[in-house]
């Protein structure tokens, strides 16, 4: 003979569930829309973009580059970092501005560290690798 005990769980924090989405996610409503229109609702209404990312380095190389610039930035005087709101992105913009070369030299930053152009740029597949528009047959096969 076993004795069973009742347990209850009480959640004191407010729920994070948004109840006003209940009609949008109700499977019966989704199927009713499908039956009337023949199409399922669009999950992502944005148009997909197809780009050539072969000029962009791999994730590890990109992360190593960002980390090395972060370490360089962290090693600079606090007053200088504060002038850039402690923002690595602002520092990278500052590095690429030729008007700042004297300040960078005084901070001990060599000109060969400064990137002269973006590491890699994504090219939309509506253009060829030479930058010329693709003809109609090439663009339709890439999508």
The answer to whether 45 touches 37, Cβ cutoff 8 Å, is no
pLDDT value of position 90? 92
Question: How far is C-alpha 42 from the geometric centre of its chain's CA atoms?
Answer: 22
Query: Any idea which residue has 């973009």 for tokens?
Result: 49
pLDDT per residue over 1-36, tens digit each? 677 888 888 888 888 888 888 988 899 999 998 899
- Is there a domain that residue 23 lies in? no
Read off the pLDDT band of 39 (50, 70, 90). Answer: confident
Q: How many domains in the chain?
A: 1
Percent of the chain with pLDDT over 70: 77
- Is there a domain that residue 44 lies in? no
Say how far apart CA 62 and CA 67 lie, in whole Å: 9
Residue 64's domain comprises 49-143
- Is there a domain that residue 5 lies in? no
- Is there a domain that residue 127 lies in? yes
pLDDT value of position 115? 59
pLDDT value of position 86? 94
- Is there a domain that residue 20 lies in? no
Q: How large is the average pLDDT for residues 75-79?
A: 92
pLDDT per residue over 104-120, tens digit each? 888 888 767 665 545 55
DSSP-derived letter for residue 133 is B
Say how far apart CA 115 and CA 121 lie, in whole Å: 14
Is 80 exceeded by the pLDDT of residue 128? no
Q: Which of 13-17, 56-60, 73-77, 136-140 is predicted least confidently?
A: 136-140
């Amino acid at each position: 003979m076993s004795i069973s005990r009742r347990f209850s769980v009480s959640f004191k924090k407010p729920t994070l569930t948004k109840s006003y989405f209940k009609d949008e996610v109700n499977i019966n409503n989704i199927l009713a829309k499908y039956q009337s229109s023949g199409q399922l609702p669009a999950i992502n209404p944005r148009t997909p973009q197809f780009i050539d990312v072969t000029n962009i380095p791999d994730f590890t190389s990109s992360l190593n580059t960002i980390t090395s610039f972060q370490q360089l930035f962290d090693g600079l005087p606090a007053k200088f970092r504060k002038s850039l709101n402690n923002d690595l992105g602002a520092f990278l913009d500052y590095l690429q501005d030729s008007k700042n070369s004297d300040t960078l030299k005084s901070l001990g930053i060599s000109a060969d560290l400064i990137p002269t152009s973006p590491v890699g740029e994504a090219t939309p597949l509506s253009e060829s690798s030479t930058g010329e528009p693709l003809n109609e047959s090439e663009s339709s096969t890439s999508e």
